Amino acid sequence: MPPLPEQVPVLPDPTAPDQPDVLVRARGLTKKFGDFTAVDGIDFGITRGEAFGFLGPNGAGKSSTMRMVGCVSPPTSGELVILGRDPVRAGPEIRARLGVVPQENTLDLELTVRENLLVYGRYFGLPRALIRERTTSLLEFVQLSDRAEDQVDPLSGGMKRRLVIARSLINDPEILLLDEPTTGLDPQARHIVWDRLFRLKQRGVTLILTTHYMDEAEQLCDRLVVMDGGRIVAEGSPRQLIEQYSTPEVLELRFDPGDHEQAAEKLAALPDAERQEVLADRVLIYTRDGDQALAAARALGIEPVTSLARRSTLEDVFLRLTGRQLGD
Amino acid sequence: MATSTAGRATPAGRPTPAAGRPWTFATRELRFWLTDYRRVWRGSIISSVLGPVLYLTAMGAGLGTLVNRHAAASLGGVTYLAFISPGLLAATAMQTAFGEGMYPVLGSVRWVQNYFAAVASPLRPADVFRGHLMFVTLRLTMNCGIFLAVIAAFGAVRSPLAVLALPVAVLTGLAFAPGLMAWSVTRSRDTSFAVLMRFVMVPLFLFSGTFFPISQLPGWLQPVAYVTPLWHGVALCRSLALGTADLGGAAVHVGYLLVLALAGAAAAQRQYRKRLYE
């Protein structure tokens, strides 16, 4: 039999040098603060037009990575190329083409909505008339047109976040960096932000975001890396990651606190259960069919207080990879 | 470290960075502070006028009538009003430097966080520092200019050289401001500010020759007064206002203040970079 032809990759390797559509490329990227290694030699590549996510718990190194990509934190070692240039030497030139939504809003609360955009646009050296023109369309885009002349201070958290997104677009950036775009927002406000970000993606803006919400990563990211302890522990599309690291379905069972451990032991005998995770408040059974697993558990004489069969999520991927929950 | 490949041309309609023109970036930061100042300029100017009027009335005209009866000789033969006015001018510059170099800088990293917004744009930490320092210089010029005008209105100017007291007062402020900014940008709370005010600014204000010649201090304290920046500002402003300045003395005072300003600026650029580019 002839040898199999070498597998042709569907996408060009985004970490390989000199790919024209690779906007960000990192190899062995490392950031240390004294003895503490925040980012520990990671490799990734981000291509034009994609929405790329860094998913991980607090302290995983996501924000440190974002700050390096934002050219406001020089890497300790490794290689980082953004828009074809070295962030240490060409910081101002690169930043002129980036939009940044930082973790904290950094808005001037005593200025008006419009003044905040004016002040920020001037940092980029944009002419007043252009800033005025863009402000009108950007405020429309984030649904804040009617608040243009209001002070920022009394705006709701969701409105402030949308204003920061409008501000980050004032220089018509090629890449938008979002550090935890919806942390601290209520569910409705989050959905509005997601909707706006989704529209930006449709327009071809490259999005790079960090999040510790798996639903946010699933909603927005074409591709993501899971980070833990400064390292990348997995990479792929949300669907690929779930297929690779989890089962199609998960059965969640809750028991009375006293029965919890004992039930978990009995459940180990369950057929068709690939894996189980015993959490503080529930037992997760990883299986092909959640309802079937529940029936099998009942057949073993196990009666949970509540049960839920659901599809696997990135939360399960993270649990599998790190043994911890994202919120921990 | 990363290797740099050839950068693409900046697409049209996007901002072109002002490479090689460092003051262009600083001016952008200055414009932020001017926008910010537009909110408060009226109140700020009123207090800049009221301050000197109150001081010169109380100290110069009020307390001065007592002093003039007894101590005119040690004041070099001038009225107490004429003696303290240029001293207060220099002291005002110092107070302005403390006011502008501490809370607004801490606010820019902790509360408003406008410094972090600025460094996400093409501006670098050094641009942010320089732009803010330009604004502080403007505030010093305003406050000291108003103060000098009030002094003239009180008739306490004895020489046309007094005009030069304005740049000297501004320089006195600049001997303090960059160092204070370098300190403030590293802070996460304002607790040390009250300590600096109480144990640095107030003693300097009281013992740097503003209210009485330092020859009146105990002998061991006099050399201490000579090394304080405020004394150099007070002495030079006074000699200019009274027309007794000599070139050599002036050069020493200016040189000393300039060295402090430059050392402060060097420290500030380092600290700004450290804080904004951690």
The nearest CA of chain A is from the CA of B37 a distance in Å of 11
Q: Work out the number of other CB atoms within 10 angstroms of the CB of residue A4.
A: 6
For the cut 80, the answer to whether the pLDDT of residue A4 exceeds it is: no
B217 in Cβ contact with B225 (< 8 Å): yes
Q: Any residues with CB less than 8 A from the CB of B234 and at least 6 apart, and which?
A: B86, B87, B90, B91, B172, B208, B209, B210
Confidence band of A16 (pLDDT split at 50, 70, 90): low
Please name which of B245, B105, B261, B249 lies closest in space to residue B179, comparing C-alpha atoms: B261
Q: Is B94 helix (H, G, I), strand (E, B) or coil?
A: helix
The shortest CB-CB distance from A123 to any of B6, B28, B278 is to B28
Same domain as A217, residue A272? no
Same domain as A297, residue A230? no
Mean pLDDT, rounded, of chain A: 90
Helical ranges in chain B per DSSP H: 22-38, 41-55, 64-71, 80-101, 103-110, 114-119, 125-153, 165-184, 191-196, 202-207, 222-227, 229-242, 247-276
Same domain as A209, residue A99? yes
CA–CA distance from B35 to each of A139, A201, B39, B239, B262 (Å)? 20, 33, 8, 37, 27
Percent of chain B with pLDDT over 90: 73
Same domain as A165, residue A120? yes
| For chain B, domain boundaries | 23-276
Nearest CA in chain B to A85: B4
Give the separation between CA B63 and CA B67, rounded to whole angstroms: 6
What residues of A are in contact with residue B38 (Cβ under 8 Å)?
A: none
Give the separation between CA B28 and CA B20, rounded to whole angstroms: 15
Confidence band of B255 (pLDDT split at 50, 70, 90): very high
> How much is the pLDDT for B114?
95
> How much is the pLDDT for B2?
38
Q: Which of residues 166-205 of A touch B (CB under 8 A)?
A: 171-172
The lowest-confidence range among A83-92, A260-269, B168-177 is A260-269
Confidence band of A122 (pLDDT split at 50, 70, 90): very high
Same domain as A41, residue A185? yes
> How much is the pLDDT for A1?
45
What pLDDT digit, counting tens, does each position of B45-61 carry? 999 999 899 999 998 88
Cross-chain Cβ contact B17/A93 below 8 Å: yes
Mean pLDDT, rounded, of chain B: 90
Which whole number is the average pLDDT over A156-164?
Answer: 95
Confidence band of A327 (pLDDT split at 50, 70, 90): low
For the cut 80, the answer to whether the pLDDT of residue B16 exceeds it is: no
The nearest CA of chain A is from the CA of B261 a distance in Å of 26
Same domain as A213, residue A128? yes
> How much is the pLDDT for B214?
87
Cross-chain Cβ contact A85/B1 below 8 Å: no
ipTM exceeding the 0.90 mark: no
> How much is the pLDDT for B8?
38
> How much is the pLDDT for A20?
67
Q: What angle do CA A43, A72, A322 make, to 5 degrees?
A: 40
Testing the interface with B: which of A123, A126, A130, A165 to mutate, by most B Cβ within 10 A? A123
Which whole number is the average pLDDT over A285-310?
Answer: 90
Q: What is the CATH number of the domain that holds A199?
A: 3.40.50.300
Tokens standing for B146? 């108003």
Domain end (from A176, A202, A235) = A235
Same domain as A157, residue A263? no
Q: Any residues with CB less than 8 A from the CB of A299 and at least 6 apart, and which?
A: none
Cross-chain Cβ contact A96/B16 below 8 Å: yes
For the cut 70, the answer to whether the pLDDT of residue A19 exceeds it is: no
The shortest CB-CB distance from A72 to any of B28, B32, B119 is to B119
Cross-chain Cβ contact A95/B36 below 8 Å: no
B86 in Cβ contact with B163 (< 8 Å): no
Same domain as A174, residue A268? no
For the cut 50, the answer to whether the pLDDT of residue A317 exceeds it is: yes
What pLDDT digit, counting tens, does each position of A92-118 carry? 999 999 999 999 999 999 999 999 999
Confidence band of B187 (pLDDT split at 50, 70, 90): very high
For the cut 90, the answer to whether the pLDDT of residue B3 exceeds it is: no
Testing the interface with A: which of B30, B36, B37, B114 to mutate, by most A Cβ within 10 A? B114
What pLDDT digit, counting tens, does each position of A21-61 carry? 899 999 999 999 999 999 999 999 999 999 999 998 888 99
Same domain as A298, residue A159? no
Confidence band of A10 (pLDDT split at 50, 70, 90): very low
Confidence band of B20 (pLDDT split at 50, 70, 90): low
Asked, for residue A174, whether it belongs to a domain, the answer is: yes
In the block, which residue shows the tokens 């490794």? A78
Q: What is the CATH number of the domain that holds A293?
A: 3.30.70.100
Give the separation between CA A124 and CA B152, rounded to whole angstroms: 43
Give the separation between CA A56 and CA A179, rounded to whole angstroms: 12
Same domain as A203, residue A60? yes
Percent of chain B with pLDDT over 70: 91
A122 in Cβ contact with B31 (< 8 Å): yes
Q: Is A61 helix (H, G, I), strand (E, B) or coil?
A: coil
Greater confidence (A276 vs A43) lies with A43
Confidence band of A78 (pLDDT split at 50, 70, 90): very high
> How much is the pLDDT for A259?
81
Q: Does A119 contact chain B (CB < 8 Å)?
A: yes
> How much is the pLDDT for A2?
47
Please name which of A251, A311, A225 lies closest in space to residue A26, comparing C-alpha atoms: A225
pTM recorded for the entire structure: 0.89
Please name which of A316, A292, A323 lies closest in space to residue A243, comparing C-alpha atoms: A316
> How much is the pLDDT for A260?
81
What pLDDT digit, counting tens, does each position of B122-150 carry? 999 999 999 999 999 999 999 999 999 99
Asked, for residue A224, whether it belongs to a domain, the answer is: yes
Same domain as A55, residue A89? yes
Same domain as A111, residue A67? yes
Backbone φ and ψ of A284, nearest 5°:
-105, 130
**What domain count does chain A have?**
2
Q: What residues make up the domain containing A29?
A: 22-235
Q: Work out the number of other CB atoms within 10 angstroms of the CB of residue B277.
A: 15
For the cut 90, the answer to whether the pLDDT of residue A8 exceeds it is: no
For the cut 90, the answer to whether the pLDDT of residue A326 exceeds it is: no
> How much is the pLDDT for A267?
85
